[in-house]
């Protein structure tokens, strides 16, 4: 059984169809219209900054949200003003019902865009079906263009597959294509120019991302951390004619090399100076809402649904959780002291 096309609940709790603004807000005046859902914890790679080689204790299938539960959460939040969805993981392309999920979410009123973050290894064969299902944006994670380095960072293989996926994505007509590069000292900081070359002929955004402290082995403490400001300064030294342009909300540092089709962005995901702009709600693969990437507090929406809560009750849990959001990721992190074992437990 799958959902009918959205029926708006007639209470003042949900927005009326005319209202374009999100009803989900916090104490600091931020509003939230972007929902990032992890749909899988498992992955076919083991990136050294993300997962231990042996993996993490993956939850059994029955603990993860079902297709219907994911759609129900998206429908509920869409009625509260969420308009942008991102499916992430683990590796979302390993989830068998992903295509069906995208088709269903595409039908939900109020959802303007559906994005995917993927390691790209399984992309090339699926890209056209994903687009036909309603996918509007894709972020491909790729940290190096060197095959040996690729194998060492991912503890797997498949650079050729990822590059093929990227090429097919460029040909597919999907409107937003981004390449996520976690930049690290003494690993890939010598590849900035090579990555910028990807923007020459293609309208892609290459995003250089700061390493974050979400891995069991804490490799970010080993001197590999490369601060956003330093990345920007090194980019400006190495690349002529980098012109500032506009980007998305977290892409304040965004440039285009003159004459190139695509863009280059730097994302300060560790230094966290863009928290004032945050518009994101995160839900883990097992249905826990997190109001910040760095928060240790979770609201269990899966159990609420399985225990019979109405959509309105679920909506009020979401509102309460977002109201408790801290001013920034530093405050959020200071409230707890355990370190996550992997980004896959949060949904990157």
Chain positions contacting ligand SF4, by CB under 6 A: 43, 45-47, 50-51, 89-91, 119, 141, 343-344
Q: Which does 254 bind (CB under 5 to 8 A by kind): ligand SAM, ligand SF4, none?
A: none
Q: Are 290 and 284 in contact (CB under 8 A)?
A: yes
Encoding tokens for residue 107? 């039908």
265 touches ligand SAM (CB under 6 A): no
Q: How far apart are CA 241 and CA 127, in angstroms?
A: 33
Among 26, 41, 75, 215, binds ligand SAM (CB under 6 A): 215
Secondary element (H or E) of residue 139: strand 137-141
43 touches ligand SAM (CB under 6 A): yes
Q: How far apart are CA 147 and CA 180, in angstroms?
A: 17
**CB-nearer residue toward ligand SF4: 77 or 88:** 88
In the complex, what is the shortest distance from the CB of residue 264 to ligand SF4, in angstroms, rounded to a whole number? 21
The backbone region for 158, taken as left when phi is positive above 0, alpha when psi lies in -120 to 50, beta otherwise, is left
264 secondary structure, DSSP code: E
**CB-nearer residue toward ligand SF4: 164 or 229:** 164
Secondary element (H or E) of residue 100: helix 98-106
Q: What is the 3-state secondary structure (H, E, C) of 172-191?
A: HCCCEEEEEEECCCCCCHHH
In the complex, what is the shortest distance from the CB of residue 245 to ligand SAM, in angstroms, rounded to a whole number? 22
In the complex, what is the shortest distance from the CB of residue 284 to ligand SF4, in angstroms, rounded to a whole number? 13
**CB-nearer residue toward ligand SAM: 76 or 295:** 295
Q: How far apart are CA 124 and CA 126, in angstroms?
A: 6
In the complex, what is the shortest distance from the CB of residue 205 to ligand SAM, in angstroms, rounded to a whole number? 13
**Contact code string over 77-106 relative to ligand SAM, x by CB under 6 A:** -----------xx-x---------------
Among 22, 33, 119, 311, binds ligand SAM (CB under 6 A): 119
**CB-nearer residue toward ligand SF4: 150 or 226:** 150
Among 102, 211, 267, 318, binds ligand SAM (CB under 6 A): 211
Among 70, 166, 212, 231, binds ligand SAM (CB under 6 A): 212
214 touches ligand SAM (CB under 6 A): yes
The pairing of beta strand 263-267 with beta strand 205-209: parallel
Q: How far is CA 331 from CA 223, 269, 289, 292, 325, in A?
A: 24, 15, 18, 10, 9
Q: Return the residue matching tokens 């994302």.
A: 267
Q: How far apart are CA 71 and CA 95, in angstroms?
A: 15
Q: How far apart are CA 130 and CA 140, in angstroms?
A: 14
Q: What are the residues binding ligand SAM (CB under 6 A)?
A: 43, 49-50, 88-89, 91, 117-119, 141, 180, 182, 209, 211-212, 214-215, 343-344, 348
């Amino acid at each position: 059984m799958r959902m009918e096309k959205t029926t708006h609940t007639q209470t003042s709790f949900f927005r009326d169809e005319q209202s374009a603004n999100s009803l989900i807000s916090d104490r600091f005046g931020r509003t939230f219209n972007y929902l990032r859902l992890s749909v899988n914890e498992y992955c076919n790679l083991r990136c050294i900054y993300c997962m231990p080689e042996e993996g993490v204790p993956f939850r059994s299938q029955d603990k993860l949200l079902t297709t219907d539960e994911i759609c129900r959460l998206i429908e509920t939040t869409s009625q509260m003003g969420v308009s942008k969805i991102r499916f992430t993981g683990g590796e979302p392309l390993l989830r068998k019902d992903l295509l069906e999920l995208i088709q269903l979410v595409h039908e939900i009123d109020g959802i303007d865009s559906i994005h995917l973050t993927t390691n790209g290894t399984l992309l090339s064969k699926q890209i056209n079906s994903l687009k036909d299902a309603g996918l509007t944006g894709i972020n491909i994670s790729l940290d190096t263009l060197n095959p040996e380095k690729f194998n060492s960072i991912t503890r797997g293989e498949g650079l050729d597959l990822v590059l093929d996926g990227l090429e097919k994505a460029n040909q597919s007509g999907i409107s937003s294509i981004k390449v996520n590069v976690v930049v690290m000292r003494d690993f890939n900081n010598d590849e900035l120019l090579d990555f910028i070359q990807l923007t020459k002929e293609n309208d892609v955004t290459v995003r250089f991302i700061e390493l974050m402290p979400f891995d069991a082995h804490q490799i970010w403490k080993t001197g590999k951390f490369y601060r956003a400001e330093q990345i920007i300064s090194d980019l400006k030294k190495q690349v002529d004619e980098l012109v500032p342009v506009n980007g998305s909300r977290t892409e304040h540092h965004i440039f285009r090399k003159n004459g190139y089709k695509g863009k280059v962005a730097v994302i300060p995901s560790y230094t966290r100076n863009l928290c004032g702009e945050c518009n994101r709600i995160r839900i883990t693969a097992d249905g826990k809402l997190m109001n910040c990437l760095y928060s240790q507090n979770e609201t269990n929406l899966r159990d609420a649904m399985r225990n019979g809560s109405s959509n309105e009750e679920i909506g009020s849990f979401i509102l309460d959780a977002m109201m408790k959001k801290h001013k920034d990721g530093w405050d959020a992190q200071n409230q707890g002291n355990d370190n996550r074992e992997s980004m896959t437990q949060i949904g990157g």
